[in-house]
Amino acid sequence: MKTSDRRIFLLQLAACSAAVPLGARAEAAKVEETDPQAVTLGYRHDTTKVDKKKYPKHDAAQKCSTCQLFQGKATDAFGPCPLFAGKQVANNGWCSAWVKKPG
């Protein structure tokens, strides 16, 4: 390999390394409020936007971060929920399957 070829190869390698950092992983998609499962469960990204007429027992203190099914950390803006496999729900979200986290 000529010196110039090796230089080009090393520049290409550096460019590829910068474009795709090692250890990078795809972040799970966020649930859309229009997702059929979300519509069925009345999911909203913002618990204060829940339809009060449709869900009269809803309380604004109920949100995904206080739900037993939320799998993110309390400080995460979004986190996984088993009801929406492979997608993330909002920390401040809510759906009709909300169950108070123990403790």
Nearer to ligand SF4, 4 or 75 (CB): 75
CB of 69 to ligand SF4, least distance (A): 4
Q: Footprint of ligand SF4 on this chain (CB under 6 A)?
A: 43, 64, 67, 69-70, 81, 83, 89, 93-95, 97-98
CA–CA dist 87, 11 (Å, integer) = 37
CB of 26 to ligand SF4, least distance (A): 21
Residue 24: half-sphere exposure toward Cβ, Cα within 13 Å: 7
Six-digit token string for 98: 């909300």
CA–CA dist 64, 96 (Å, integer) = 11
Nearer to ligand SF4, 21 or 82 (CB): 82
